[in-house]
Amino acid sequence: MPSQPAFNAVSSQPDGSQIVWNDALAAHVAGLARDWFAEDLGHECDWTSVALVAASATCELDVVARQSGVVAGVQAAEVVALVADPKMHWQSRVQDGTAVEAGHTIATLGGATRSVLAAERVLLNMIGRMSGVATATRLLVDAVAGTPCRVYDTRKTVPGWRLLDKFATRAGGGWNHRLGLFDAVLIKDNHVAALAAEGIGPAEAVHRARAFIRNAFPPQRAAVMVVQIEVDSIQQCEAILSAGPDVLLLDNMTLEDLAHCVCLRNQRSPGIVLEASGGIRPETIRAVADTGVDRVSSGWPTHNAPWLDVALDWLGYEQKA
């Protein structure tokens, strides 16, 4: 498969790259799937199926959503199915990002019965988690409908699952924050505390980050390295606006303070993006968006949202002679 990035930059705001489905992401999923099957099969096999199901038996099953939600993971599921058995066939009935009602068939899976049974739980786990993240993200996105505010994810992802969690965010209509520590500069509270011990203030930290990027990276890479800094008070916001970060992260502020920071930004540095974080959930996000911030970031979809209930429904079984 071509070695191309698993993401594309498609945002008009100062952002990192946005995850898309492509050959590189498919190859990443195939690697994960091999580990998942090694975990489930213990480098042996599904002894229950070997003991009870004829090697020649074939079947076909529908993959059905047991509850309403937003589907994510159908493209990845085809890759996982082929890792389990290259002769299995997966037919998607919906696209990633499709909202479905309970009872809707999202795909059909068929092949050797032993292979299908061995792959069942791994496939359903992946689709259930990814669809749960997408569904939760859509709740947040729908809650801010009619405002210019965007919904972003965070790095609060399951280890090893970051690209899938972030792909699910995109399927739910959200936007990807930085992928990791490597693709943006985000000066957080503990960075600020460490620098304060050396007599370096937040505004100077922004200037130093800018200088480092100019000197350390080639121009093309430097141009896409976003500089963001976290503040938790109006006073910090006011002091840092003149330093010109790309994004100012307003962490755990009251609605009144968020609105005040928006006014300050609009008056002094209208080009700086304001992002609110902390306690962002479906019941709180609209009020935050109404303060005028440009975006919110939330770890709720990836670390707190329930999985979507997805199951395999048996369609047919053929015992070959």
pLDDT of 16 > 90? The answer is no
| Catalytic-residue membership of 87 | no
- Provide φ and ψ at 135, rounded to 5°: -65, -45
List all residues 6 or more positions away from 8 whose beta carbon is below 8 Å from its beta carbon: 17, 18, 20
| Catalytic-residue membership of 188 | yes
**Alpha helices, H only, the chain:** 23-41, 47-52, 74-84, 113-143, 162-171, 189-196, 202-216, 219-222, 234-241, 255-268, 285-289, 300-303
For residues 65 and 131, give the distance between their C-alpha atoms in angstroms, rounded to a whole number: 10
Over residues 16-29, mean pLDDT: 92
pLDDT of 4 > 60? The answer is no
Is the fold of 7-137+306-318 the same as that of 142-303? no
Classify domain 142-303 at the CATH topology level: TIM Barrel (3.20.20)
CB distance 316 to 60 below 8 Å? yes
For residue 1, the model assigns a pLDDT of 26
| Catalytic-residue membership of 156 | yes
Neighbour count for residue 76 (Cβ, 10 Å): 26
CATH superfamily of the domain spanning 7-137+306-318 = Quinolinate phosphoribosyl transferase, N-terminal domain (3.90.1170.20)
For residue 17, the model assigns a pLDDT of 81
| Catalytic-residue membership of 320 | no
Identified catalytic residue from 40, 60, 85, 251: 251
Sketch the domain layout of the chain as residue ranges.
7-137+306-318, 142-303
Burial environment of residue 243 by CB neighbours within 10 A (0 to 12, 13 to 18, 19 or more): buried
Identified catalytic residue from 156, 208, 281, 286: 156
CB distance 170 to 176 below 8 Å? yes
| Catalytic-residue membership of 221 | no
Angle at 243 between CA 237 and CA 248, to 5 degrees: 45
Over residues 134-147, mean pLDDT: 97
What pLDDT, in 10s, does the model give residues 233-287? Answer: 999 999 999 999 999 999 999 999 999 999 999 999 999 999 999 999 999 999 9
List all residues 6 or more positions away from 298 whose beta carbon is below 8 Å from its beta carbon: 140, 151, 152, 153, 154, 277, 280, 281, 285
CB distance 151 to 173 below 8 Å? yes
Identified catalytic residue from 34, 188, 214, 221: 188
For residue 316, the model assigns a pLDDT of 54
Terminal C-alpha separation, the chain: 39
For residue 14, the model assigns a pLDDT of 67
Identified catalytic residue from 46, 165, 230, 275: 230
CB distance 74 to 98 below 8 Å? no
How does the average pLDDT of the chain come out, rounded? 92
For residue 9, the model assigns a pLDDT of 41
What pLDDT, in 10s, does the model give residues 31-74? Answer: 999 999 999 999 899 999 999 999 999 999 999 999 999 999 99
For residues 209 and 253, give the distance between their C-alpha atoms in angstroms, rounded to a whole number: 25
Identified catalytic residue from 23, 35, 39, 121: 121
